[in-house]
């Protein structure tokens, strides 16, 4: 069974997001070993933080993210400049990883400042959920639903109409 990790920066504290993620996490269990890894977001005290301060925080977050990617696991970064993918393309990405023998995948959602360049370079793919800006908690819910949808597409189920 394919293992799919979702590595996220920050806690999921909006109740409606937490309930939605929990529901799709439960549904995903039929298709994959799915786990969520929550890492702490680096605190930046200044309201108008300098680019250098943000870069240092992203580097520290990036090291933590990469430390949680397991050996042999493909990394997929969610970032605004990533490739827009359809549900079917996400399903094909998961199926392709599974068929290649390197089936384990880790998706990563960065902090409010994004992802470090090191994480983006380490990723086998950079994708985007769209050109709209989503709060990170909502992005986690949307991605979790889309992963479930991708699994049902690959299984030939009718969830995706």
Each residue's pLDDT expressed in tens, for the chain with a length of 161 residues: 889 999 999 988 889 999 999 999 999 999 999 999 999 998 887 677 788 888 999 999 999 999 999 998 999 999 989 999 999 999 999 998 887 766 899 999 998 889 999 999 999 999 999 988 888 899 999 999 999 999 999 999 987 66
Answer whether residue 147 is part of any domain.
yes
The Cα 42–Cα 63 span in angstroms is 12
The Cα 149–Cα 86 span in angstroms is 11
Answer whether residue 117 is part of any domain.
yes
Answer whether residue 30 is part of any domain.
yes
| Total of domains in the chain | 1
Q: Residue 12 sits in a domain of what CATH number? A: 3.40.1280.10
Answer whether residue 161 is part of any domain.
no
Answer whether residue 160 is part of any domain.
no
Answer whether residue 159 is part of any domain.
no
Residue 40 belongs to domain spanning: 3-154
Which among 76, 77, 84, 78 is positioned nearest to 131, based on CA atoms? 84
What is the rounded (10 degree) CA torsion for 91, 106, 8, 140?
Answer: 10
């Amino acid at each position: 069974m394919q293992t799919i990790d979702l590595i996220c920066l920050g806690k999921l504290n909006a109740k409606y997001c937490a309930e939605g993620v929990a529901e799709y996490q439960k549904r995903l269990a039929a298709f994959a070993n799915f786990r969520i890894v929550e890492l702490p977001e680096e605190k930046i005290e200044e309201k108008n933080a300098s680019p250098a301060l943000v870069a240092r925080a992203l580097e520290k977050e990036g090291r933590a993210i990469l430390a949680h990617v397991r050996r042999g696991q493909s990394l997929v970064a969610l970032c605004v400049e990533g490739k827009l993918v359809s549900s079917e393309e996400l399903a094909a990405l998961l199926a392709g990883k599974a068929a290649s023998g390197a089936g384990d995948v880790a998706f990563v959602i960065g902090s409010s400042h994004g992802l470090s360049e090191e994480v983006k370079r380490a990723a086998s793919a950079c994708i985007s959920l769209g050109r709209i800006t989503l709060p990170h908690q909502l992005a986690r819910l949307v991605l979790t639903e889309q992963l479930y949808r991708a699994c049902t597409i690959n299984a030939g189920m009718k969830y995706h109409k």
